[in-house]
Structure 1
Amino acid sequence: MEGAAQWEIYAPVNTSNGSALNKTQCVGKDFNGTTTQPAMTNVSLMQFDIIVKDSVASPQTGWVFSTLVYDKNAPGKDAWDKMIPLGATWGGNPDVINTAPTALTPPVTVNPKLSENWVNPKSPVYAVSTLGWDGRLSGPNDGAVVTPAWAASHYYPAGLASAGCLGCHSSAQYPMTSFLLPTSSQPPQTIDPPLSGSDPDAALVMAEPGSKLWMSWFQSRDGKTPMGPDTSAGAKPVALDYDMVTAFKAIPMWQQAKAAEAKNAQK
């Protein structure tokens, strides 16, 4: 992130960013940011996503997902010039099923058979270390690499590459009967893998790579076809055209607000 664009935000400190705890600009005497107490701290621009609705370039899904990443060694006069394309994706390539270690264990190798996916070979190392399954596009600030993971009785302490940008967004539906990533259940579950040593982190239970359930996240559906499965009452979810903000955040927040409103009305 040397030389990257920076600005200050006032927010609780993310526990995954240990350095922020020591670099927080304190507000008041002896004030330190925590996960519940906000503080002024710097953030650096590492990723910028551009998602375009385009039924011509992408006749199946109707979308083209692209990602820019910061490369301090790229030519340019400022940090914005050094935001380079990591890649683009417009389909799931469900016909390409590769379960070799090079496709699953990060950093994965980009499979040249992926005809609906392009990754810039000149991308910085940190950006390609978080690609999805078999090299499907996923940025460093996304969650394609699940660490640690458990799938088909196999423990992945160094991570398992799973759904990339398009695969994650393809689960956008209401209600969300599938998780963002190819987990074996919704809501997802975690386990403490046997013989995993002293690692205290529970592993996310994933579907078996290449299985029918796993492949649900690697199709090329149009935005009107839900991923599924059906609800417990047998009703089909409503597809939300790859709009994960609506599915994962807006609708749940609206439901919480309406529930709180109803509860207050009863007082």
Structure 2
Amino acid sequence: MLEVKPILVQQSMVISTRYPVMVIGGAEDKVNGCEILRAFFESAGGQQASIGIVPCASQEPSVVGDRYYKIFQGMGAQQVQVLDIRQPRECDEERWLDILERCTGIFITGGDQQRLCDLIGGSKFIASIKQRIERGDLVMAGTSAGAAIVGEKMIAGGSSGESPNQLLVDLTDGLGIFPDLLVDQHFHNRNRMARLMSAIAAHPDKLGIGIDEDTCAAFDGEGTFEVIGKGTITIIDPRELTHTNYLDVVKTSPLSLHNLTVHVLSKGNRYNYQHRTVLPS
């Protein structure tokens, strides 16, 4: 089992967190056991938690924000607020930075990851989130679009159901919370294996992580994550890659990738993404 670590927060109270960062594949259970959402709630302080919800990736931020507001309020969080950011750089305003500073947990919802990056990328808001994660006084979770943005490079869109090729995936810059990771979500549910392989062919210095729906990579702050939820997490590790034709073919041509390492992890499995090794459950 992972060690439970104390976190000191601004209110001078002590909360216990097991998962400082939670990267969720989307469509997490919101009705029944709510395993993943409850793990975030407990990591952020449980009934002492002050949770901020960032729904700006969605085209309906009020609807999405209100849904998560009711979920975390129903779990018994001390305070829940929706940070309804609508315009680029609006999140640099003191009203949002002040709310963020008082949060013990921040939850970034699904929607359009490009829209999300356009709104909060390069801002004081995301800089503060990164700093506080590093300090250990903020827990962050992102689902779907909120998961896609965590790498230095981001899958902004693409297709499925084809062999790996350059046109299968649209790549852009992410927010760099985990610079070495390249994350795809709704993974097996939307047949995105070839898409992630295509992304890794473009960036073989990254580690590919494909997360199924209602599944979460729960990071412990020590270079490892644990799988929680109902699905699997697929690791595509190109560290031993011996050949790819990515630079030699036209964009519509099938890609070759030789000697990839692939792991499929299920609930309770643990993975060290720094050393790229599967750990005992």
Q: Say whether the fold is shared (TM-score over 0.5).
A: no
Which gives a bigger RCO, structure 1 or 2 (Cα 8 Å, sep 6+)?
Answer: 2
Tell me the TM-score normalized by structure 1.
0.31
Greater helix fraction, Structure 1 or Structure 2: 2
